[in-house]
């Protein structure tokens, strides 16, 4: 059980709402920093993701116009990092094992990223196939070892591509795109396990 409190005494009226908002901005920042520094089962729980993460952050796709100009340029020019995946179809289920990443780009502050992987089976206009790994802290060479599964017919999967993108999680700002891979599932022998490293690249919309 844990408890976090914002400072009390918040009174908001029509005439002073701007002043109150500015004064309390630091309090809110401190509260969020404390929250996201708690144990992983709290900081990355469904409740925290639902109420404290901007909706845009969960819904954003690989759209360069939504990224800060510096972040987009960094990914396009560096092309650094790679992602290791295992893919196999058996028993009516496509299993995608997110194994490792290596040589991920550092943050704008020069620190190792807080990486996580987001996966879609594209085309997917309704984002029904969205899956995410947990966030790992301060690691440019993370081992995720997480299985993501899709129960879809094989003939449907052969017309899809596996899109896996790596992101740096930032608790107070927009998440940073680190690179991604697109693997046409029709090009893989899906009934056999395929394990491979894929270079991370810039993925246009």
- Secondary structure (DSSP) of 58-109: HH--S-GGGS-HHHHHHHHHH---EEEEEEEEETTEEEEEEEEEESPPPPTT
What does the pLDDT look like over 133-163, one tens digit per residue? Answer: 999 999 999 999 999 999 999 999 999 999 9
Higher per-residue pLDDT: 19 or 117: 117
What span, in angstroms and rounded, lies between the C-alpha atoms of 144 and 97? 9
Instruction: Using the predicted structure, report yes or no on whether residue 62 has a pLDDT greater than 70.
Output: no
Q: Which domains does the chain have, with CATH numbers?
A: 17-52 (no CATH), 55-199 (2.60.40.150)
The reply to whether the predicted model has a pTM over 0.85 is no
């Amino acid at each position: 059980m844990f408890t976090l409190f914002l400072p009390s005494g918040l009174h908001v009226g029509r005439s002073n709402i701007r002043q109150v908002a500015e004064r309390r901005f630091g309090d809110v920042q401190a509260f969020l920093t404390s929250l996201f520094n708690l144990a992983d089962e709290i900081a990355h729980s469904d409740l925290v993701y639902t109420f404290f993460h901007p909706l845009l952050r969960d819904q954003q796709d690989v759209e360069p116009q939504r990224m800060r100009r510096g972040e987009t340029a960094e990914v396009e020019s560096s092309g650094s990092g790679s992602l290791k995946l295992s893919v196999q179809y058996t028993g009516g289920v496509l299993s995608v094992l997110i194994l490792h990443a290596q040589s991920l780009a550092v943050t704008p502050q020069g620190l190792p990223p807080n990486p996580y992987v987001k996966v879609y089976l594209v085309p997917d206009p309704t984002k029904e196939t969205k899956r995410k790994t947990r966030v790992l802290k301060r690691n440019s060479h993370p081992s995720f070892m997480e299985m993501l599964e899709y129960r879809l017919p094989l003939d449907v999967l052969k017309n899809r591509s596996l899109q896996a993108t790596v992101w740096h999680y930032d608790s107070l700002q927009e998440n940073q795109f680190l690179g991604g891979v697109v693997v046409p599932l029709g090009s893989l022998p899906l009934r056999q396990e395929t394990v491979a490293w894929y270079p991370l690249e810039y993925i246009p919309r």
